[in-house]
Amino acid sequence: MSALYYTALAMLGGLLMTRLTRLAKLPNVTAYLIAGVLIGPYVFNLVGSDMLEGFGVITECALGFIAFSIGDEFKLESLKAIGKPALLITLFESVFAVVCTMSITLLLGFNPIICIMLGALSASTAPAATLLIVRQYKASGPLTDMLLPVVAADDATGLIAYSICVSIAQNMVNHTAFSFAGTVLLPLLRIAEALLLGAVLGVLLALSHRYFRSHTNRMSLCIAFVMIGVGLADYIGLSNLLLCMALGAVYVNLWNESERILGCIDDWTYPLFMLFFVISGAQLNLSTLPKVGLLGIVYVFARFGGKFLGAWLGGGITKQPAVVRNNLGWALMPQAGVAIGMATMVLKQLPAEYSQLIQTVILSATLIYEIVGPLAAKTALQRAGEIHA
């Protein structure tokens, strides 16, 4: 069978599952993930593992468009209203997640290298799941306004935490001395490079609209630039999420009619996002759940506890309304693509005795977070009274 057949099978599986999950009032994201698990190689094997490897271009492209869409949340007028509070809340919830996960696992006597890396991986959330839930239920209000910038900035803090912690872990494995330049400055430089390159592409995209007047041509340019951004990031070794996020942020601030074009791109990308979640679900191996034991359970609860406590404290310090303080932590529960991507990178950067266990914990936690997390995010928006569909 051709790749097109399996692509169609994945889309149909996701759509059909929404008919069942709707009866239980579950978000579409959860339906797509469950459909992926069922048709994937670890349950009914309708889509084999070899075919999943060929879907890599779909997942990379989807993550690029997810980041580009989240860049829309960084409009200057929005940032002026919630910029500092969003930044402080992001800092609090990310740092608390890292510290809680790292300290609790260390206190329970697990290997320090594994504890450090799990702490680093706990910072990131799943922008794709959050974005899809907000769109599905047409959510709007103070919680939604705060949630999307925080989720977007989470990827930056997650990448910074990962870059620093993996350098520390490598020093511990190799018994080498700590280097501030290599451990801290170099990762920050790579993040700055991704943001700068994305900003340059955003300027070029806005300028190109002067020479292409039709709406469809401008939409095509946006799609092309996002794909160029993903390709360049992979080629140079930068974060395609941060690059595309900067691309989207600069574009929406330079082009006045960007909202209209982004609205059409949202319609175009929805099937792509659906495929991304079905493929992500197909990659989840249910047999890994029993292998992680206490470490996996501790990671799931410690990460969420840190996120919730950090968001609550950050909301209190920045004097956010109660609907934001009490619900933001629940909406930050999902974790998927970024964490899985970084866990895969661990396989190349640390010995197998550490990296395989780390990856197993993250994949198992992702299975839990991506099924329970979207429901928690929907419930949080519901409690805040911001669901309008």
**358 located within any domain:** yes
The tokens describing 323, both together, are 């609907």
**pLDDT the model gives residue 10:** 93
19-44 tens-digit pLDDT? 988 887 777 777 888 899 899 898 89
More confident residue, 290 or 143: 143
**17 located within any domain:** no
**273 located within any domain:** yes
- The answer to whether residue 150 scores a pLDDT higher than 80 is yes
The tokens describing 161, both together, are 């935490």
Residues 6+ apart with CB under 8 A from 210: none
∠ at Cα 208 (203, 213), nearest 5°?
135
- The answer to whether residue 113 scores a pLDDT higher than 70 is yes
Range of the domain at 373: 33-383
- Within 10 angstroms of residue 44's Cβ, the number of other Cβ atoms is 11
Mean pLDDT of the 71-92 span = 78
Sole residue written with tokens 């990296």:
355
**5 located within any domain:** no
pLDDT band at residue 389 using 50, 70 and 90 as cut-offs: low
Q: Which residue, 34, 46, 64, 62, is CA-closest to 6?
A: 46
Q: How far apart are CA 372 and CA 374, in angstroms?
A: 6
**pLDDT the model gives residue 92:** 92
pLDDT band at residue 193 using 50, 70 and 90 as cut-offs: very high
357-378 tens-digit pLDDT? 887 788 778 778 877 888 888 8
- Within 10 angstroms of residue 345's Cβ, the number of other Cβ atoms is 14
**21 located within any domain:** no
**pLDDT the model gives residue 260:** 83
Q: How far apart are CA 296 and CA 317, in angstroms?
A: 32
290-346 tens-digit pLDDT? 767 888 889 999 999 999 999 999 999 988 898 889 989 888 888 766 677 677 667
**8 located within any domain:** no
Q: How far apart are CA 37 and CA 315, in angstroms?
A: 36
Average pLDDT, the chain: 84
More confident residue, 232 or 256: 232
Q: How far apart are CA 18 and CA 24, in angstroms?
A: 10
> Based on the number of CB atoms within 10 Å of its own CB, is 291 exposed (0-12), middle (13-18) or buried (19 or more)?
middle
209-218 tens-digit pLDDT? 999 988 889 9
The tokens describing 27, both together, are 């978000």
Q: Which residue, 203, 195, 193, is CA-closest to 242?
A: 195
- The answer to whether residue 183 scores a pLDDT higher than 70 is no
**pLDDT the model gives residue 182:** 66
pLDDT band at residue 106 using 50, 70 and 90 as cut-offs: very high
Give the side-chain half-sphere CA count within 13 A for 285.
Answer: 14
DSSP summary character for residue 344: H
Give the side-chain half-sphere CA count within 13 A for 75.
Answer: 14
∠ at Cα 376 (374, 380), nearest 5°?
115
**pLDDT the model gives residue 199:** 95
DSSP string of 279-326, one letter each residue = HHHHT--GGGHHHHHHHHHHHHHHHHHHHHHHHHHHHHHTT--HHHHH
**389 located within any domain:** no
Mean pLDDT of the 7-25 span = 89
Mean pLDDT of the 11-19 span = 93
**pLDDT the model gives residue 207:** 95
**1 located within any domain:** no
**Total structural domains in the chain?**
1
**pLDDT the model gives residue 82:** 63
Q: Which CATH number do you get for residue 182?
A: 1.20.1530.20
pLDDT band at residue 55 using 50, 70 and 90 as cut-offs: confident
**pLDDT the model gives residue 6:** 92
Mean pLDDT of the 40-65 span = 86
- The answer to whether residue 178 scores a pLDDT higher than 70 is no
